[in-house]
Structure 1
């Protein structure tokens, strides 16, 4: 087993957000990162609606086998058990691989604010993130000023995203195993309290 995706897009699941990702964010992200990498990035998007039907095996495998994670941050991002688990898994990977140091400055988590960045966890404030809240409009046209602004932001961010992909740590087979186990655990805990903070994630 090895990496199968360059980017895992983590977002608070709902059909409107998914439509915006598919119609606007993904095409421009792929175009601009392709120009930097010299190849089209492979991107994973979970298309399950937030109903508890997300399959732990496939979701955990995709997460564990992705080089980087782009977190589309919203004020209710952490209220999703899937989002909080995805984010915490990749934060733990950064710590395990000893990233974001003088020797290895690149991380694997790339926050992109599409709503209410003020609620982004203070403990993750060291992460460089970018703002596309003004471009998050599910009704915007592909030739609208907001779409042009989104393209401009992703053009500016593409070199940094490509660098994170290129400097991703060597794959470890424990990552998908741990992610799958955590997804199954959370799948069976859905009736529990709502998550409001970044949970700790450690491999079993």
Structure 2
């Protein structure tokens, strides 16, 4: 097999933020990245997993066959074992590709949309794009803020295109490795357990001991 996707978007699914990622972030990225690559880019978001598929194996294959990963670091990204291990696996690939070099190959492009206190030290070496002010629930395309968001995505696209051009030679064994990792995650989740990343120490948010109360 060979690469199937130029970009894999790693993000925490949530009722309001999933549409923002799929309908706005991905759309703008695709438009600007096409100008940089001069061909239509293939961008994977999890909505592309087909109904009836083994989604665990499918997720592993889609990540393994993606050249780079755009990680949307939200406030709850690091509370998701799936997000943590998507990041972990791609960082491992970057380290492997950078053998003999002092830093990582640019295979992970972080996009910070919320407080980054849980970002692992290894990922802090990578200069992120700050999109926090553009992550607005029910964002309206007919606003000045959306135009600024569009400009910011246009500025991000060249860095992603550069990373795509530097992707290492595809290795078939990645597929089985990634599928095995995600199967471990799935089995652990059935027992309410964690599988720790290998490239960094996870800084998971601490769940509140008391339910929050809203006062009016």
TM > 0.5 fold call? yes
Aligned-partner Cα distance in 2 for 1:145–1:99: 45
Residue pair 1:79, 1:194 contacting (<8 A) in 2 also:
no
- Give the structure 2 partner of residue 93 of structure 1: 93
Aligned-partner Cα distance in 2 for 1:105–1:36: 23
Aligned-partner Cα distance in 2 for 1:148–1:119: 30
1:184 and 2:183 matched: yes
1:150-189 alignment runs, 5 A limit: 150-189=149-188
1:2-151 alignment runs, 5 A limit: 2-47=2-47, 55-98=55-98, 101=101, 106-151=105-150
Where does the alignment leave 5 or more consecutive residues of structure 1 unmatched? Answer: none
Pair 74,54 (structure 1): closer, same or farther in 2 beyond 3 Å: farther
**Residue 199 of structure 1: which of 187, 197, 200 is its match?**
197
Residue pair 1:100, 1:106 contacting (<8 A) in 2 also:
no
Q: CA deviation at 1:99?
A: 6.6
Where does the alignment leave 5 or more consecutive residues of structure 2 unmatched? Answer: 200-216
Q: CA deviation at 1:178?
A: 0.5
Aligned-partner Cα distance in 1 for 2:13–2:100: 29
Pair 90,99 (structure 1): closer, same or farther in 2 beyond 3 Å: farther
CA RMSD across the alignment: 2.2
Q: Point out 4+ residue stretches in structure 1 off by more than 4 angstroms.
A: none
Q: TM-score, normalised by structure 2?
A: 0.83
Q: TM-score, normalised by structure 1?
A: 0.87
Query: How many equivalent residue pairs?
Result: 194
Aligned-partner Cα distance in 2 for 1:80–1:105: 24
